[in-house]
Amino acid sequence: MNRYEITIIGAGVSGIFAAHELAASGKSVIMLDKGKKLNERSDSYIGFGGLGMSEGKYNYTNDFGGELERKTGYDAALQLMDDVDAILCRYGGSEAGMYHTYDPELSAKAQEAGFGVLTTRTRHLGTRLSKAVLQKMYDYLETCMTMKFEAEPERIEKTDNGRFEIELPDGTVIDTNRIIIATGRSGNEWFSRQCDELGIGRGEARVDLGLRVEMRGNQLNSILKNAFETKLSFAGKGYTATTYCMNPRGRVVLKLQEGLAMPDGQNYREKEEGSSNLNFTLFVPNRFPTLEEADAYFRDIVSRINRNRNRIAAQRLGSLRQGMKEETGSEESGSRMRSVLPTLEAEFTDLREEVPERYLEATLAFLEALEKLLGESIDEDTIVYAIDGKLYSPAIETSQEFETKVSGLFVIGDCSGTTHSLSQAAASGVYVGRLLAGHLLAGN
């Protein structure tokens, strides 16, 4: 039997940053992941680095991205995120400059137009730099602990002596004093089974859905003169909508998640040349009593649009506002020269026949308010794509130190339901890693 003091299950950002804090502690640590090593990965969600290997966008804020401050306190959460950034920079992340979205002039004008402005400091690594930083972290961790991949645990049991036994697919049994579960959203199915077997309850679940908007790149110049991007919140009747993943000079790209196709945003740094467009998603959150209900709602809407293929539906803003049905096709044939050309192939159609009214209503109301803020009309050639989604894990009842009611079992990162971003997930890993390394007193 293999014996360790601490086992980390999941090698996404929360698990990696927890491991980093434990690396120099002298404790015996093993990290397990169902995916592959970084240099062998092909999956976008699992394997060393998790979603951190994507565009590597770290937003250092309490305004959005999770509720870490409820565990650690407001100032401590910000300090933990500063520490995350310092670690990233230690491994080369400083190659990407920091920018911020704070603009007091915009905030005042936005409030008059009915918006709230969410602020953050951001270090956006991009895919290439993310992979380089993660590789350096992997190389370091490999010298300090055991890492085992394609090793999703089949059984976790609490033993009579207060320790845990973890059985792996190859028959290996690990005896460990403490477990940190850091499997992210992609590990929901596996984690649900473990919660059932260990008697851990799960709270309500959330799924955000929204339309991705692609507009002229200079359309938002008047509100982006002091910042690279902005994050606007808009309250409508019975909903709050928030912009997400704003990409000046970026592209709309195809995202495949859990067997479904959605329009996603890509930063201009990911290609040699940027586009002449700007894109973002306007997300509206939905809450459900259980994860199963949330997932069913998400799958029903997205799969109907996909029609058993990687189909994305789209419509020009002008025809959407007028209630006109566009000619079906990848792009309107024989039309006049458009001021906004799509960067993602989509089927132009009538979105009112594709998308629940809730999301159309939110988007049209948001854009109307945005026109007030800009002092000009949104270009009618603006393209609206259906439908983007952001999935969350249900909240897990844990202590302030992320420990479940099963003594010695900790849940961090997005699978805890507390964090929803790379920065806060990584910060939760730093927090629990320090706690178990003995560098942080419980309750502090």
Q: Is pLDDT above 60 for 128?
A: yes
The answer for 184, left when phi > 0, alpha when psi is -120 to 50, beta otherwise, is: left
On the question of pLDDT at 444 being above 50, the answer is: no
Give me the pLDDT at residue 307, please.
97
Residue 318 is predicted with a pLDDT of 95
User: Which regions of the chain carry the CATH code 3.50.50.60?
Assistant: 2-96+122-202+395-437
* Pairwise CA distance, residues 288 & 294, whole Å: 6
Does the pLDDT of residue 440 top 70, yes or no? no
The percent of residues in the chain predicted with pLDDT above 70, rounded, is 95
Cα dihedral sign, 256-261-265-271: positive
327 pLDDT tier (thresholds 50, 70, 90): low
Contact 418, 428 (CB under 8 A): yes
> Rounded distance, CA 360 to CA 301, Å?
13
Quickly count helices (H) and strands (E) in the chain: 10, 20
Query: What span, in angstroms and rounded, lies between the C-alpha atoms of 428 and 419?
Result: 8
Cis peptide before 387 (omega within 30 of 0): yes
Confidence at 272, pLDDT banded by 50, 70, 90: low
Residue 333 pLDDT more than 50?
A: no
Contacts of residue 34, defined as CB under 8 A and 6 or more positions apart, other chains included, come to 46, 149, 150, 151, 152, 187, 190
Q: Where are the beta strands (DSSP E) in 125-204?
A: 146-149, 155-158, 164-167, 173-181
Q: What does the pLDDT look like over 309-321, one tens digit per residue?
A: 999 999 999 999 9
Tokens, residue 170: 């190859």
HEC string of 391-411 equals ECCCCECCCCCCECCCCCEEE
Rounded Cα distance, 91 and 17, in Å:
12
Rama region for 247: left / alpha / beta (φ>0; ψ in -120 to 50; rest):
beta
Residues 6 or more apart in contact with residue 133 via CB below 8 angstroms: 56, 88, 91, 92, 93, 125
Report whether pLDDT(175) > 50. yes
When pLDDT is cut at 50, 70 and 90, the band that residue 330 belongs to is: low
**At CB < 8 A and 24+ separation, what contacts does 256-262 make?**
256/44, 256/310, 257/44, 257/45, 257/389, 257/391, 258/299, 258/391, 260/299, 260/302, 260/303, 260/306, 260/389, 261/302, 261/306, 261/309, 261/310, 261/311, 261/312, 262/302, 262/312, 262/387, 262/388, 262/389
pLDDT tens figures, 357-402: 999 999 999 999 999 999 999 999 999 999 999 999 998 999 999 9
Report which secondary-structure segment, H or E, holds 425.
helix 422-437
pLDDT at 335 exceeding the cut of 90: no
In this structure, what are the phi and psi dihedrals at residue 429, rounded to the nearest 5 degrees? -65, -40
Q: Tell me, what's the pLDDT at 389?
A: 96
Domain 2-96+122-202+395-437 part of CATH 3.90.850.10: no
CA–CA gap between residue 247 and residue 278 (Å, rounded): 6
Give the Cα separation of 91 and 95 in Å (integer). Answer: 10
* pLDDT tens readout for residues 403-426: 999 999 999 999 999 999 999 999
Among 40-49, 81-90, 266-275, the range of highest mean pLDDT: 81-90
- The average confidence (pLDDT) of the chain is 92
Mean pLDDT of 24-39: 95
- What is the end-to-end Cα distance of the chain in Å, rounded? 35
Contacts of 56 (CB under 8 A, 6+ apart): 96, 124, 125, 126, 127, 129, 130, 133, 422
Distance CA 400, CA 379 (A): 48
> Is 311:261 a contact under the CB 8 Å cutoff?
yes
DSSP strands (E only) in 217-250:
231-236, 239-248
Q: What is the pLDDT of residue 331?
A: 58
